[in-house]
């Protein structure tokens, strides 16, 4: 069996979207003839914890862990947070417009912690893995970011070993949605871009998750960038009862930050609830996972407080079980410069639910093409109140008649097993 070293910050018991890509990919590698060797921090400062995910680690997986020091306690003291308080997804967007202490923390993050706060783990990790690889050869190295410090660890190994390296960009580096909020100096911006270019040039293959992201990364270094989507794990849906509840439930699963807050949707729902008593009585807005306060505030501002059902982070399988009770699945896209290339991991799990997806974002984006191809949902621009209202009225009427459903197709190609095979195919090129 061949061996692949996977360098990832996110790994169980950490939870959230960042864990899923390589937890799920690695699960199927042994069946394809590859033994996964995971290198991950012993004590990461995770935003969410999901102990249930440890049960999904394939028994043939070898896991290497070393301690990491991250400056988050310094940030907590600087910004007045409690010791150990979790940083929510989208923290940078919130802090960049906060008080002077929050702005200072973002300035430090952007200009001195390059590429990210995990930079202090790079040198000790290169040293540890150098010693490991001398005694335990591998056939392939994969680094996955963000955090992009993982790519710099792989870069350090590439300079010492003639081992093929795939740099997997789950999200962009300098094109990521919050990059323009890092309060960067010219020097800081130059440093980020220099390191990004070096990774792109030195990696044997560069992989990302969407056509637009691939195009943007290719512009930086001029070489082809491979596309391997995120996806869904069919085993996650075994035993789940797909029985929508008796309410007109519109649900969101996962981290919901302020850059994704679809204000137009809450306004439309507020108007419909005001005009239609039955709609008001039947409507449930179900938010499962970390949700920014701005989202809650906007919902309440539109008179929908009684319709809101908020649930904190759940174990992944339990979250999917709750999601399976929904009538409509909400997919808000970040209102950011790179929005056209964003393909949220939750979208693929939504597709496997076979419930109508209501997406809000740029209508010429990659996610729209996939929704159209699989016939799993409909997308509207950030400000298309008319289109959103018309669709919601139609969905509600179909719900009342017991006919709200989608005739989805062709989404099986996004199964994690098929996607893991693509990485293996790439390793032979």
* Stated pTM of the model: 0.90
pLDDT of 95 higher than 80: no
Tokens coding 279: 């709609």
- The residue that leads in pLDDT, 324 or 88, is 324
Res. 409 pLDDT band, cuts 50 70 90: confident
Confidence of residue 225 (pLDDT cuts 50, 70, 90): very high
**Mean pLDDT across the chain, nearest whole number?**
92
Residues 180 and 40 in one domain: yes
Same domain, 385 and 254: yes
Name the band, by pLDDT with cuts 50, 70 and 90, for residue 74.
confident
Q: What average pLDDT does the segment 323-329 reach? A: 94
Q: Which residue has the tokens 């419930």?
A: 355
Distance between the two ends of the chain, CA-based, in angstroms?
18
55 and 177: one domain?
A: yes
Q: Three-state SS across 175-195? A: CCCCHHHCCCCHHHHHHHHHH
Q: Specify the CATH number for the domain of residue 33.
A: 3.40.50.2000
Q: Residue 97: its pLDDT value, please?
A: 66
* pLDDT for residue 180: 85
Residue 217 banded pLDDT, cuts 50, 70, 90: very high
Task: Report how far apart, in Å, the C-alpha atoms of 306 and of each of 56, 157, 299 are.
Answer: 37, 55, 10
Contacts of 5 (CB under 8 A, 6+ apart): 37, 39, 129, 133, 138, 140, 141, 142, 163
Q: Which residue has the higher pLDDT, 395 or 100?
A: 395
pLDDT for the residue numbered 243: 83
pLDDT band, very low/low/confident/very high, at 339 (cuts 50, 70, 90) = confident
Q: Are residues 215 and 272 in the same domain?
A: no
Of 175, 126, 173, give the one whose Cα is nearest residue 148: 173
80 or 235: which carries more pLDDT confidence?
235
Q: Is the pLDDT of residue 91 over 70?
A: no
Neighbouring residues of 341: CB distance < 8 A, sequence distance ≥ 6: 172, 175, 210, 211, 212, 213, 214, 215, 216, 365, 366
317 pLDDT exceeds 80? yes
Are 178 and 292 contained in the same domain? no
- Whether 49 and 123 map to the same domain: the answer is yes
Between CA 217 and CA 214 the distance in angstroms is 5
Q: What is the pLDDT of residues 154-172, one digit of tens each?
A: 999 999 999 999 999 999 9
Other beta carbons less than 10 A from residue 422's beta carbon? 15
If you search the block for the tokens 């239609």, which residue do you land on?
276
Based on the domain organization, do 216 and 103 belong to the same domain? yes
Number of DSSP helices (H) and strands (E) in the chain, helices first: 16, 13
Beta strands per DSSP E along 209-337: 226-227, 248-253, 283-288, 308-311, 328-332
- Residue 195 — pLDDT band, cuts 50, 70, 90? very high
Average pLDDT over residues 339-348: 90
What pLDDT sits at residue 179?
Answer: 87
Give the pLDDT band of residue 73 (cuts 50, 70, 90).
confident
The pLDDT-based confidence of 16 (bands split at 50, 70, 90) is confident
pLDDT at position 93 is 60
How many independent structural domains does the chain possess? 2
Percent of the chain with pLDDT over 70: 97
Mark whether 226 and 239 lie in a shared domain.
Answer: no
- What's the pLDDT tens digit per position in 264-312? 999 999 999 999 999 999 999 999 988 989 999 999 999 999 999 999 8
Full domain range(s) for residue 227: 2-232+416-427
**Residue 187 has what pLDDT?**
96
- 42-51, 84-93, 329-338: segment of lowest average pLDDT: 84-93
Pairing of strands 248-253, 283-288: parallel
pLDDT of the residue at 218? 96
- The DSSP result for 62-127, as a single string, is EEEEE----THHHHHHHHTPPTTPPPPTTHHHHHTTS-HHHHHHHHHHHHTSSS-TTGGGHHHHHH
CA nearest to 294, candidates 46, 93, 86: 93
Query: What is the pLDDT at residue 87?
Result: 67
pLDDT value at residue 104: 85
Instruction: Say what the pLDDT of residue 255 is.
Output: 86
Same domain, 180 and 242: no
Same structural domain, 53 and 178: yes
- Tell me if residue 227 falls in helix, strand or coil: strand
- Hey, what are 213's tokens? 């992201």
> What is the largest distance, in Å, between two alpha-carbon atoms of the chain?
71
Measured distance CA(257)–CA(274) in Å, rounded: 27
pLDDT given at position 401: 95
**Geometric angle at alpha carbon 299, from 295 and 301, rounded to 5°:** 115
Per the CB < 8 A criterion, the answer to whether 149 and 116 are in contact is yes
Whether 122 and 160 map to the same domain: the answer is yes
Residues 90 and 139 in one domain: yes
275-292 residues labelled b (16+ CB within 10 A) or e (exposed): eeeebbebbbbbbbbbbb
Quickly tell me which residue has 């960009």 as its tokens. Answer: 169
């Amino acid at each position: 069996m061949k061996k692949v070293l996977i360098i990832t910050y996110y790994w169980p018991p950490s939870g959230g979207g960042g864990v899923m890509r390589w937890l799920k990919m690695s699960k199927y590698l042994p069946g394809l003839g590859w033994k996964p060797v995971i290198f991950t921090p012993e004590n990461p400062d995770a935003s969410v914890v999901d102990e249930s995910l440890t049960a999904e680690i394939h028994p043939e997986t070898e896991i290497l862990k070393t301690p990491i020091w991250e400056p988050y306690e310094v940030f907590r003291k600087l910004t007045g947070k409690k010791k150990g308080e979790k940083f929510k997804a989208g923290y940078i967007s919130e802090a960049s417009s906060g008080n002077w202490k929050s702005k200072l923390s973002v300035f430090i993050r952007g200009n001195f912690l390059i590429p990210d706060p995990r930079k202090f783990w790079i040198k000790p990790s290169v040293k540890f893995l150098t010693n490991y690889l001398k005694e335990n050869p591998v056939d392939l190295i994969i680094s996955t970011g963000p955090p992009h410090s993982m790519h710099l660890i792989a870069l350090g190994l590439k300079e010492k070993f003639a081992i093929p390296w795939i740099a997997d960009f789950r999200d962009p580096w300098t094109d990521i949605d919050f990059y323009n909020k890092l309060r960067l100096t010219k020097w800081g911006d130059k440093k980020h871009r220099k390191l990004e270019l070096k990774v792109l040039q030195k990696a044997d293959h560069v992989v990302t998750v969407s056509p637009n992201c691939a195009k943007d990364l290719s512009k930086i270094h001029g070489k082809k960038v491979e596309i391997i989507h995120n996806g869904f794990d069919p085993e996650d849906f075994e035993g789940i009862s797909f029985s929508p509840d008796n309410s007109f439930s519109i649900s969101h699963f996962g981290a919901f930050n302020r850059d994704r807050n679809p204000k137009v949707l809450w306004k439309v729902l507020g108007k419909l609830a005001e005009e239609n008593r039955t709609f008001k009585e039947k409507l449930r807005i179900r938010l499962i996972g970390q949700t920014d306060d701005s989202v809650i505030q906007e919902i309440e501002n539109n008179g929908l407080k009684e319709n809101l059902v908020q649930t904190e982070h759940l174990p992944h399988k339990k979250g999917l079980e709750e999601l399976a009770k929904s009538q409509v699945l909400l997919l808000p896209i970040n209102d950011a410069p790179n929005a056209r290339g964003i393909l949220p991991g939750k979208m693929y799990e939504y597709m496997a639910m076979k419930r109508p997806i209501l997406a809000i974002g740029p209508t010429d984006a990659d996610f729209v093409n996939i929704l159209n191809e699989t016939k799993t949902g409909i997308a509207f621009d950030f400000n298309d109140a008319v289109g959103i209202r018309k669709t919601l009225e139609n969905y509600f009427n179909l719900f009342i008649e017991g006919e709200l459903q989608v005739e989805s197709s062709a989404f099986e190609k996004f199964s994690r097993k098929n996607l893991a095979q693509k990485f293996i195919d790439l390793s032979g090129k």
